[in-house]
Structure 1
Amino acid sequence: MSAPSLERPVEQRGARPAILRDRPGAAAALTLPLLLLALVASVLVAVTIGAADLSVREVWWSIGDHLNLIDADLSVLRDGIVWEMRLPRVLTAAAVGAGLAVSGAVMQALTRNPLADPYLLGLSAGASLGAVLVLLTGLAVSLTVAAFSGAMIALLGTLMLARSLGVITPSRTVLAGLAVSSFAGAITSLVIFWNTQGDSYRQILNWLLGSLAGADWGTTKVAWATLLLVGIPVIVYGRVLDAFAFGDTAAAALGINVSRTRWLLLGGTALLTGAMVSVSGSIGFVGLVLPNAVRLVVGSRHRLLLPLSALVGAIFMIWVDTGARTLFEPRELPVGIITVLVGAPIFVLILLRNRERA
């Protein structure tokens, strides 16, 4: 028996929800390889930018030498700048951008709300609380582990609160997430007010606004392992997500176990977001703006929207982080400031373009 079509119910009603509007298939499909090439080029070029001027050839030599692909004649200093300083940060930025963009697209589908973002379940506030506790109290836990643990505890609190209200629905989940986020934010503010001394404000502010300054190969491995192990299975669920645009009843009529699928996707999105926030801090607007921007270009079929959002998110984060570390040298801005400065105007343009549908 063939799988039920997700498009037939739309044709029968004669109109498609805005969330499933199509774009020309051939042009959309061509976007994928072009973005892959742009991502590789962005990684190579971004590593060359900084106080120490490097060439793309030197970056490739360093990478090839460490991967035993070539025997490069590169000085120890320049090799160290590429391999130990810039490359891990650029790769971490790419993974964080991809993870947040995918998480945002999934949350928008599950809640049927284009204004949803990855932090809707209180993950960012929980991660911030865990990180601040480590930074201020000296707990013998790594910052990444503490932030991830805080995000997972916040998720558990959100889901328990939503479940206590009855059957878990998108609206109840959103409301529970707002409550948990507000509570965790208040505790974080109290801890900062009570314990912060001297120059520790700067370190905390950098983390709360999002920063990749501390990225190394350890954070790169955490971000990419989570993206591959959790993000790819979530992307595979793209076609299933299309059914949620018509509501739970329609999705169930198509043979989808709505409750099980929602729990799996919420859990996967939470793990993905928690891991990304744990290595980068709270970076806003990426998961909110980029899926909406990609949707305008290629339509809203999630089998294409999710991978393209991941690629656009990776490229976007590479360049905003490059700007954050180089625009005002020797001072470095938290990357979250740049994402808001760039993302907010883009979001306004998206709203203006879609004002007739609002």
Structure 2
Amino acid sequence: MASATPAPPSAAPGAREDGAGARFSPELMYAAARMYYLEEATQAQVSARLGTSRATVSRLLSEARRQGIVRIEVVAPPLADDGDLADRLASVLGLRAVHLGAAAPTGRSADLGITLGPAVARVLAEVGLEPGDVLLVSSGRSTYEVAGTDLPHLPGVRVAPTVGGTDQADAWYQTNEATRRVAERLGGTPLFLFAPALPGPGLYEELLADPGTRRVLDAWDEAKVALVGIGAPPRTRTSLASFVDRGDPVIMGATGDVCNRFFDEQGRPVAFRGAERLVATTLDHLRALERCVAVAVGTEKVPSITAAARARCITDLVTDPVTARALLAANRPDADAD
């Protein structure tokens, strides 16, 4: 559906024709737009009332849109079965709840915040976080984009990263950056983890003894809620954390990951070389939380989301209707027979 709102002009009325074509005053464009869009007059009626031709009216309306006097918004209609879809999917996956955002208008990652941010905000508002409570945040495109949207005001909440840093240039790989963004939006306090995701053996032991690192590790044990992304199967991804060895058949055969903890299609942990030194929350940490809210979109993530639900490391899923329908289709009783 489309709506158009003519914005009031400030210039004097009038129109002038010259060799370069029609140059219309904002007043005249506003008058034509108001009659056509708000009063639902036909172009013929508008031309009669303005004393000009229908061709001129058409140009007036086009120019009004170009200059922003008319702003057209195309809004996707809500789907009548979205509520039922969310409930059915939550039941099939064994989750506490599924929360549906809007359908993404394009495939750009920036749209993730626009489409899923309001749903995430509603979940965070309802979980009852109080001053001093800990909210964990993972890295990933989805959580990073959602972190830049309007989130509920939760002053005093401590926000901690779930994994150490990597050397990728993309901001969404840096959990400290996602942590900072979420804390800023909530009005909370960020806790930063200044440690690599996969340190060497000697450094790992030193980090465990470091007071700054321990403050974050202790926050993992105290956490009440987590906001996490779900990674697609590693073999399908063009970008992976720098410590992931693409030559390791074990990790490349994984179905997905949460907080860089990889699992197979049944949700069972997949240990890669060096995993014992990974500075990241464990799946057991996530299972112990009151709520672990996963944000994930894309049909390529259907196996990963399904596996995360089987791992019982998430309680809530925020996704879009397209992904939700694909998940429901993949998890119906006769899906394996197709």
Structure-1-length-normalised TM-score? 0.22
Structure-2-length-normalised TM-score? 0.23
Q: Which has the higher strand share?
A: 2
Higher-Rg structure is 2
Q: Which has the higher helix share?
A: 1
Higher relative contact order (CA 8 A, sep 6+): 1
